Amino acid sequence: MQQFFSSRKTIEGNVDRKTRFGIGSTAILTAVMGGVNLISAIAPSYPERTAWLKHFLPFSVRAGGHLFAALSGFILLTLAANLLRRKKVAWYLTVGLLILSILSHLIKGFDIEESTLAMILLIQLIVLRKVYTAKSDPPSIAQGIRALVVAILFTLAYGTIGFYWLDGYFKVSGQPINFSFKQAIWQTLAMFFTADNAGLEPSRRYGDFFAHSIYAVGLVTMTYALLMLLRPVLLRGDPATLFDRKKARQIIDEYGQTSLARLSLLPDKSYYFSPSGKSVIAYVAKGRAAITLGDPIGHSDDRKEAIVSFREFCHQNDWFPTFYEVLPETLPLYQSLGYRWVQIGEEAIIDLRTFNLKGKANQDFRTAINKLSKAGYQLQVYAPPIDDRLIARLKPVSDEWLKSKQGSEKQFSIGWFNPEYLKGCHIAVIEDGNGDAIAFSNLLSGYNRKEVTVDLMRHVDRAEKGTMDFLFAEMLKHFQQEGYDSFNFSLSPLAGVGEAADAQRVEKGLHYFFEHLNQFYNFKGLHQFKEKFRPRWEPRYLVFPSRRVLPDIAVGLVRADSGDRLLDYLKPGS
């Protein structure tokens, strides 16, 4: 596996141009073949050809060829898009259908033209067989195969029982018939493999409805089976093994540079290691989107190989590689590899080496500090490891805050109230005159740099006005005295997005969202609060392979943020 990836370092993790052309043309030809099959199924065969076939094949067999051509045409149209995704299962299904299509075209009317086109496509697929490496979800494949078998048996049972019980509802070749069990089975099969349904004629309205319902039952169950067979790989159980987590921590401890490094160790993340083993990518896979938290973490010389090999890894699992909160300095590398990007917000960073609360602009902070200090409020900063008793004191504050916001815990790019996670953080607590916890924030120490980053910010409803100003002003002074270089307020979503004259359309759309949907998400309020501290704003980006996958990525980000398995991690000791 390592040799495979290493040999692809200089080709962007993608196949070469000829192969990409082959994949695209194969998908197009498959769709064309599907359309040809549908048209061929409807069109009558040439009389001079069928006259020769009549000596060898009965009408029911030749008509069955028309029916199979129609069914295979529909399935080939479905498979075309999956061949473009390089799905291995789609390759097997297409090859099988093309072999059967060649036979059906010859049987139904000795249609050499359609058979030749199917043969050309079949040869092309065989030549490109090694390219189709994208996996489908293994449990879903098994479920799809079971569903396919069940679909066939259920449809057969449904039709058989119906024909057996519906006495007097049908005629065959003009004669009333009461089906025996054996006749009911054969009649159900005839519905799919003969053009005239073996002479079946409904004599009542319900009989006509039942005959058509057999097709509906078969179509629905078989479509479900096909969707299961082509489903992208889903991650189940724990996202990463204990060994992977230990290896990831070693790399992150050595090379991590931002607060995202600490968040990369949270239990919702899976890990991909570069072929050299020098870099790790923390990601979550939701639907077809594999979303990383930040850039690859590792040696700078290994970054390109990590991105390239991760893309191939995603292709093999039928995922879109997506990088969330990318730094500005790494954008040129992604662009050189063919990725697109869009700004998603800005991080507010304060230089603690020059920060002070002097001057007229900071009068409000000084007022809040003086007022609340007189009321007995004070800041306590606790260093890790955090005691269980402090966690127990802060839990009611967190619960009350969540209830007031009518929300639930988020994750992926932020932490959540999990005791094991919080024990490894600095925690700043505002206590009132009675020593009760009024507000708190946990903070992440920057890896290999003297920076601290805000994560959770929570307070009780009865907190005095200006409590959060007091909390942050005091935190800034505390970490300044501790010798830290900078204080990171973390990402302000959508801040600064779409404001430039040359902004992309996607960014302008996000800017509209920022301006007009603030009442739902309060993006502007969060941004304005951070702006009061006059920070330096640094842009952060979403990097993705193509604009057409943005809807899938958006859904994946929502799922990652809400946390499909969050309740498991909220349990004590999880």
Domain ranges of the chain: 2-135, 139-229, 236-338+546-565, 347-544
Give the right CATH number for 347-544 from 3.40.50.300, 3.40.50.11540, 3.40.630.30, 3.40.50.261.
Answer: 3.40.630.30
**% of the chain exceeding 70 in pLDDT:** 76
Q: Is the pLDDT of residue 473 over 70?
A: yes
139-229 and 236-338+546-565: identical CATH topology: no
User: Higher-confidence residue: 162 or 393?
Assistant: 393
Q: What is the pLDDT of residue 515?
A: 45
Average pLDDT value over all residues in the chain:
78
Q: Is the pLDDT of residue 520 over 90?
A: no
**% of the chain exceeding 90 in pLDDT:** 24
- Amino acid identity of residue 119, one-letter, is M
Strand partners, 342: 542
In the 8-state DSSP scheme, what is residue 501?
A: T
Q: What is the pLDDT of residue 400?
A: 92
Q: With cut-offs at 50, 70 and 90, classify the pLDDT of residue 534.
A: confident
**Residue 494 contacts by C-beta under 8 Å, 6 or more apart in sequence?**
344, 345, 510, 511, 513, 514, 523
Q: What is the pLDDT of residue 230?
A: 62
Interval 195-252: pLDDT, tens: 567 778 888 777 777 777 777 777 776 776 666 666 655 554 556 788 899 999 999 9
Q: Which of 187, 180, 232, 242 is nearest to 211 (CA)?
A: 187
Lowest mean pLDDT among 10-14, 353-357, 428-432, 555-559: 10-14
User: Higher-confidence residue: 392 or 149?
Assistant: 392
| Domain 139-229, CATH class in plain words | mainly alpha
Strand partners, 286: 289
Q: Is the pLDDT of residue 141 over 70?
A: no
Q: What is the pLDDT of residue 553?
A: 84
Q: What is the pLDDT of residue 570?
A: 38
Q: What is the pLDDT of residue 517?
A: 44
Instruction: Please give the CATH topology (third level) of the domain spanning 236-338+546-565.
Output: Aminopeptidase (3.40.630)
Q: What is the pLDDT of residue 329?
A: 92
Classified as helix, coil or strand, 266 is: coil
Q: What is the pLDDT of residue 449?
A: 81
- Report yes or no: 447 and 261 within 8 Å, Cβ to Cβ: yes
Q: What is the pLDDT of residue 334?
A: 95
User: Mean per-residue pLDDT for 422-440?
Assistant: 92
Phi/psi region, residue 277 (left: phi>0; alpha: psi -120 to 50; beta: rest), is left
Q: With cut-offs at 50, 70 and 90, classify the pLDDT of residue 573.
A: very low
Q: What angle in degrees, to the nearest 10, is found between the helix axes of 181-193 and 59-84?
A: 60
User: Mean per-residue pLDDT for 425-433?
Assistant: 92
Q: What is the pLDDT of residue 189?
A: 80
pTM reported for the whole predicted model: 0.66
Other CB atoms within 10 Å distance of the CB of residue 262: 21
Interval 66-94: pLDDT, tens: 556 666 777 787 788 778 877 777 888 88
Q: How many CA atoms lie less than 13 Å away from 425 in the CB half-sphere? A: 29
Peptide bond into 385 cis (omega under 30): yes
Interval 481-498: pLDDT, tens: 999 999 998 887 765 555
Q: Is the pLDDT of residue 314 over 60?
A: yes
Interval 371-416: pLDDT, tens: 888 888 999 999 999 999 999 999 999 999 988 877 678 888 888 8
Peptide bond into 232 cis (omega under 30): no
User: Higher-confidence residue: 473 or 149?
Assistant: 473
